[in-house]
């Protein structure tokens, strides 16, 4: 049995009368690609917002590497090694691709009250940034201003910023959102490359992508996990078919 790196225990979040996360428990094991799927309104984005620290849960705990992080603010969780990407691309549009990633590296290498030394000349920032760009296949676009990148490339850049700091767990919020078929395929290939070396918690709408990538899948309906298991088991699960996959599967 693999080691659990991120554990969600009986997490509950209510918005007025709506229970977006309902007594949810989930364990992400080290090195796995764990996908969370579910119909619209199942509470996927609410879940990731609580994990990354943008929303506070009403009850329950989040354990990261055995440590209770439920009350930590977003930037502190990021510092511990819990990185995330955004559903809507969120990058520094007027920076070059490499500057974007270097800034993410900088965030994790001590404080930034350093005033005189040129940040662009610091190998300690640039080398990890270039390595991360290479991992997502953007090395040839390193000096292009982010605004001039295509949508797919911006999504890749977003992933590069998340992996640049070697996070222990990477939360990916719909990395394939708004992508064409070709771009999606490239993103899937790229994410496959992270298998084994990174732990990914993936929230995704694209079923093809999920079944190709995930080691385990959790199905979320009305804030509750109705099933967790290997892709084949999920595909065969009658409850899941009824609740979510419908005629599609």
Q: Contact at 8 Å (CB) between 160 and 138?
A: yes
Indicate whether 239 belongs to the interface with other proteins (CB under 8 A).
Answer: no
Q: Choose between 1 and 75: whose C-beta lies nearer to other proteins.
A: 75
Q: Choose between 112 and 197: whose C-beta lies nearer to other proteins.
A: 112
Which residues touch 48 (CB under 8 Å, ≥6 apart)? 84, 171, 173, 201, 203
Segment lying near other proteins (by CB under 8 A), choices 115-123, 181-189, 205-213, 237-245: 115-123
Q: Choose between 86 and 194: whose C-beta lies nearer to other proteins.
A: 86
Segment lying near other proteins (by CB under 8 A), choices 1-9, 86-94, 223-231, 241-249: 86-94
Indicate whether 117 belongs to the interface with other proteins (CB under 8 A).
Answer: yes
- The burial of 1, by beta-carbon neighbours within 10 Å (0-12 exposed, 13-18 middle, 19 or more buried), is given as exposed
Q: Contact at 8 Å (CB) between 206 and 214?
A: no
Binds other proteins (CB under 8 A): choice among 16, 40, 66, 75: 75
In the bound complex, what is the minimum distance in angstroms from residue 41's beta carbon to other proteins?
24
Q: Which two tokens stand for residue 6?
A: 């991120």
Segment lying near other proteins (by CB under 8 A), choices 81-89, 126-134, 183-191, 207-215: 81-89
Residue 16 phi/psi, 5° resolution?
Answer: 60, -125
Indicate whether 95 belongs to the interface with other proteins (CB under 8 A).
Answer: yes
* Residue whose tokens read 């049995």: 1
**What is the rounded distance in angstroms from the CA atom of residue 20 to the CA atom of residue 180?**
30
DSSP string, 10-64: EEEEEETTEEEEEEEEEEEETT-EEEEE-STTSSHHHHHHHHHTSS--SEEEEEE
Binds other proteins (CB under 8 A): choice among 15, 59, 71, 120: 120
> Residue numbers of the site for other proteins (CB under 8 A)?
52, 54, 74-76, 78-79, 83-84, 86, 90-96, 99, 102-104, 106-108, 112-120, 122, 125, 145, 147-148, 161, 165
């Amino acid at each position: 049995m693999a080691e659990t790196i991120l554990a969600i225990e009986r997490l509950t979040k209510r918005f007025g009368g709506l229970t977006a996360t309902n007594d949810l428990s989930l364990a992400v094991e080290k090195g796995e690609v764990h996908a969370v799927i579910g119909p619209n309104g199942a509470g996927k984005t609410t879940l990731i917002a609580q994990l990354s620290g943008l929303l506070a849960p009403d009850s329950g705990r989040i354990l990261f590497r055995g440590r209770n992080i439920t009350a930590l603010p977003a930037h502190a969780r990021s510092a511990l090694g819990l990185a995330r990407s955004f559903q809507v691309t969120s990058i520094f549009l007027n920076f070059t691709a490499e500057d974007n990633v270097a800034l993410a590296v900088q965030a994790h290498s001590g404080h930034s009250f350093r005033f005189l030394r040129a940040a662009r000349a610091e190998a300690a920032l640039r080398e990890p940034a270039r390595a991360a760009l290479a991992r997502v296949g953007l090395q040839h676009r390193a000096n292009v201003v982010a605004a001039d990148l295509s949508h797919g490339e911006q999504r890749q850049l977003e992933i590069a910023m998340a992996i640049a700091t070697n996070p222990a767990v990477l939360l990916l919020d719909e990395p394939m959102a708004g992508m064409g078929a070709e771009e999606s395929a490239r993103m899937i290939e790229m994410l496959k490359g992270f298998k084994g070396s990174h732990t990914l918690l993936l929230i995704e709408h694209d079923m093809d992508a999920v079944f190709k990538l995930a080691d385990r899948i959790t199905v979320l309906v009305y804030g509750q996990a109705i099933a967790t298991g290997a892709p084949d088991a999920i595909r065969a699960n009658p409850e899941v078919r009824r609740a979510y996959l419908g005629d599609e599967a």
